[in-house]
A and B are shown apart, each in its own frame.
Chain A
Amino acid sequence: EPEVTQTPSHQVTQMGQEVILRCVPISNHLYFYWYRQILGQKVEFLVSFYNNEISEKSEIFDDQFSVERPDGSNFTLKIRSTKLEDSAMYFCASSAAGTVRDTQYFGPGTRLTVL
């Protein structure tokens, strides 16, 4: 069964450093997403991406964040100058289309720890 994969599973970085989180969406899906979950809290939407453009972003997704599809398979989230409060689990998701009815399938997550 196709699945979303994410690497690395755990990333530790120093405050102020840049990190890139990587995702490989399900191969025939066209819409990609990033969500984050601060430890013990709910999952929050960050950004959606389609056709090499951001479709929608939340208020959390500020200039510190960027997304990119560098090739035909990867989808990345870059966090510039990480802060302590960026420590969270980051989930990538993908869906076949981007309508309200499309199920988003999630990857296993990358746990980011900022020291």
Chain B
Amino acid sequence: AQKVTQAQTEISVVEKEDVTLDCVYETRDTTYYLFWYKQPPSGELVFLIRRNSFDEQNEISGRYSWNFQKSTSSFNFTITASQVVDSAVYFCALSENASGSRLTFGEGTQLTVNP
């Protein structure tokens, strides 16, 4: 069965600090996708990134970067030079071939960026 663990319940940083959000997943499938979603205080879920199990190349998009390591079953997310607007709950999610198209979410990490 698939499982996503986000061990960090809450993180608080000061603006301009870098912050890394951890995500560890479990799956028996060889074909799977990992996602990060952002949930700002307004409540909606905003898609950030998708990675597949065959592509371990890390990715950078502006201040965001993602580190995918199959060896440790981790898909961590780093925000560089954090800003107050980055304050949100961040969810890591997994979709595996064996489970159809359902997304399995982690518990989420509440990130607070203080001015």
Contact = CB atoms under 8 A, between A and B. Distances in A.
A27 interface: no
Nearest to B29: A100
Contact of B50 (A33, A103, A108): A103
Interface string A41-83: 1111100100000011010000000000000000000000000
B101 A41 contact: no
A45 B96 CA distance: 14
A23 to B, nearest CB: 13
B31 A91 contact: no
B102 interface: yes
Interface stretch (B60-68, B75-83, B105-113): B105-113
B87 interface: no
A106 B43 contact: no
Interface string B93-109: 10111001111111110
Nearest to A58: B102
Contacts of A106: 37, 44-47
Contacts of B91: 42-43
Nearest to A109: B43
Contacts of B101: 31, 33, 48, 55-56, 95, 98-100, 102, 104
